[in-house]
Structure 1
Amino acid sequence: MDHGPIERLIEYLEVQRVDRFLFTGKSPARPSRIFGGQVLAQSLNAALRSVDAAFEAHSMHAYFLRPGDPSRQIVFEVDPIRDGRSFATRRVVAKQDGRAIFNTAISFQRCEPGLEHQASPVKVTPPEALESDFDFWTRKHAENPERYPAPLAQAIERRVVNRRDYDNPQPQEAVQHSWFRVSGDVGEDPHRHQVLLAFMSDFALLGASLLPHPYTAQSPGMQVASLDHALWFHRPARADEYLLYAMDSPNASGGRGFCRGQFFTRDGQLVASTAQEALIRRREA
């Protein structure tokens, strides 16, 4: 296997089974804490492997409890709370050094037909007309190499519809849209696509709560972190095809920002929804 960015990401998210309901995982090297979307996706992967293959995840509700250390192994304990004919429920606790860093409850359903309706799709600039994150940060590095390091190749491609000015952020409406996809074919396994979508769902979501304020997550004095995360899977979707992530933030107060998101396919199908509260603490110098 060519261990490029996509293969490495899949390897990290495919946790290792050590017992029926016990799994371990590792993290890519990072300068500080584990990315929340990683442990979210790894926990979903562990839970998916503990239910019948005919079941698919339809919702998960999670809390980020402590910062994770990228240099240490993560242990995922799966609690098989319920196995029914139509629904199954799992609780997953991710631990390091015996202490919980993350927990989630995940509900699974055996696929069945039913009533259907959905929100209207959002019309925005198509991804081909937008600059990718890699190209954007490459350009910023060329303009100011001391401030902006050269970007590394990434498995996840993001193209922002209206990119914020990181040098001089101005208050704006708390709405943002970004196209996401895994930048290569990841196969046909629907569970893998769910895991990768869960990973992407934590990208940039908390940033929507900073849009009405003259700050970004990188601004000096800002302390930001995901506190909880909810994800609902509505319809099957491919993570290696462009998905539009439409995000907004209806409230911020008490040092916390509340954000919501919807994933649409290019043809306008609503495939997943998210909600998250994040720490957005401003520390004065």
Structure 2
Amino acid sequence: MKNVQELLQILTLEDIGNNNYNGVSKDIGSPNVFGGQVLAQSLNAAYRTVSESRTLHSLHSYFLEAGDLTLPITYNVQVIRDGGSFSTRRVTAHQNDKTIFILACSFHKKEEGYEHQKDIKKIIKQPEELLSWNDMLTQFGDFLPSKMKAFLAIERPIDFKPVEVPNPLEQKDLPPQVDVWFKVKGNTTDLSLAIKQQILTYISDYNILTACLNPNASVATFGNTQMASLDHSMWFYRDFDFNDWMLFSIESPNTYGARGFARGNIFTRNGTLVASVAQEGLMRPLKKK
């Protein structure tokens, strides 16, 4: 996928009737279906059953089985409740009669109320000072481990610019945090809030578990650790545009028992807090054969 238009072709599902929708998958460099894709496709299905006057404010999900890239995914939406202010939906994703994912999400009509938000970091490098994943591949490709080089070489509809880039040849423990600027490629004008939330959900499954790996980076790598999303939650606050860089600021309070927990906030460049994310992931050391 080269841009947001190609991403939306993957996220937009086929309506097959009775609140069931079919989707296809795109390889992003992992052997299984990307969790962010399943999250975003599930939201696409749920939004089809909700009044246009209501927008997503939260989602909570579990990844139950690894998705097969070669098979279509069928999403079933259950209408749990339509109240005076909130609508609740439950979505299950299936492949060959196997449930691979479940999601509960809630939609809220627009209301006025009190307001405050956490501030963006006051001192942080700006995107213009940083290298993107593609820049890293171009400049350092000959020195990178083969798996990392192959991952960076895949075309994506999003540019990522990490604020700090660890040297892959100098393994050392790092703080349990990651800050990544990101920007959607292609024309993002005239996107509805519903579509923007689906895209943001897709993006939110990138980078987050890196913060869990960092404190043990002297011995743990993506190559010797089995990693997978176990659950994923998001809370959406304010409308936003994709016409500039956005910051995903992530921290990991804990890793233990082959699981890592991370949480983060997503800001616009001017410091508006758009959404918060929390995820627990599998962090299983692979035994040497």
TM-score range, shorter chain: over 0.9
Please give the alpha-carbon distance, in whole angstroms, between the structure 1 residues aligned to 2:212 and 2:110: 35
Please give the alpha-carbon distance, in whole angstroms, between the structure 1 residues aligned to 2:229 and 2:42: 16
Report 1:68-147 matches (<5 A): 68-123=67-122, 124-143=124-143
Q: 2:223 aligns with which of 219, 225, 239?
A: 219
SS at match of 1:212: helix
Please give the alpha-carbon distance, in whole angstroms, between the structure 2 residues aligned to 1:73 and 1:163: 36
1:11 offset after TM fit, Å? Answer: 0.3
SS at match of 2:200: helix
Percent sequence identity is: 37
Please give the alpha-carbon distance, in whole angstroms, between the structure 2 residues aligned to 1:4 and 1:133: 14
Runs of 4+ in structure 1 over 3 Å off: 142-147
Cα deviations by residue, 1:173-221 (Å, 9 ceiling, x for unpaired): 101100112122223211110000000111010110011002555233x
Report 1:176-195 matches (<5 A): 176-188=178-190, 189-195=192-198
The residue number in structure 2 matching 1:60 is 59
| 8 Å Cα contact 1:260-1:276 kept in structure 2 | yes
| 8 Å Cα contact 2:3-2:184 kept in structure 1 | no
| Residue 229 (structure 1) aligned with residue 228 (structure 2) | no
The residue number in structure 2 matching 1:263 is 266
The residue number in structure 2 matching 1:170 is 172
Cα deviations by residue, 1:9-64 (Å, 9 ceiling, x for unpaired): 11001111111411010011355100100000100111111100111000000001
| 8 Å Cα contact 1:6-1:154 kept in structure 2 | no
Amino acid at match of 1:140: F
Q: Tell which deviates more after alignment, 16-25 or 160-169.
A: 160-169
Please give the alpha-carbon distance, in whole angstroms, between the structure 2 residues aligned to 1:69 and 1:261: 28
SS at match of 1:171: coil
1:273 offset after TM fit, Å? Answer: 0.2
SS at match of 1:115: coil
Residues 247 and 75 of structure 1: CA distance in aligned 2, closer, same or farther (over 3 Å): same
Please give the alpha-carbon distance, in whole angstroms, between the structure 2 residues aligned to 1:84 and 1:63: 25
SS at match of 1:18: strand
| 8 Å Cα contact 1:55-1:108 kept in structure 2 | yes
CA RMSD of aligned residues (A): 1.7
SS at match of 2:117: coil
Cα deviations by residue, 1:246-281 (Å, 9 ceiling, x for unpaired): 000001111100100100111111110010101101
Please give the alpha-carbon distance, in whole angstroms, between the structure 2 residues aligned to 1:84 and 1:217: 47
Residues 281 and 112 of structure 1: CA distance in aligned 2, closer, same or farther (over 3 Å): same
Please give the alpha-carbon distance, in whole angstroms, between the structure 1 residues aligned to 2:219 and 2:200: 27
SS at match of 2:136: helix
Cα deviations by residue, 1:54-80 (Å, 9 ceiling, x for unpaired): 110000000011000111000000000
| 8 Å Cα contact 1:209-1:249 kept in structure 2 | yes
SS at match of 2:251: strand
1:243 offset after TM fit, Å? Answer: 1.1
Unaligned runs of 5+ in 1: none
SS at match of 2:153: coil
| 8 Å Cα contact 1:93-1:103 kept in structure 2 | yes
Please give the alpha-carbon distance, in whole angstroms, between the structure 2 residues aligned to 1:146 and 1:19: 45
Cα deviations by residue, 1:121-141 (Å, 9 ceiling, x for unpaired): 113111111101111123232
| 8 Å Cα contact 1:184-1:240 kept in structure 2 | no
The residue number in structure 2 matching 1:19 is 17
Please give the alpha-carbon distance, in whole angstroms, between the structure 1 residues aligned to 2:133 and 2:223: 18
Amino acid at match of 1:256: R
Q: Tell which deviates more after alignment, 236-245 or 261-270.
A: 236-245
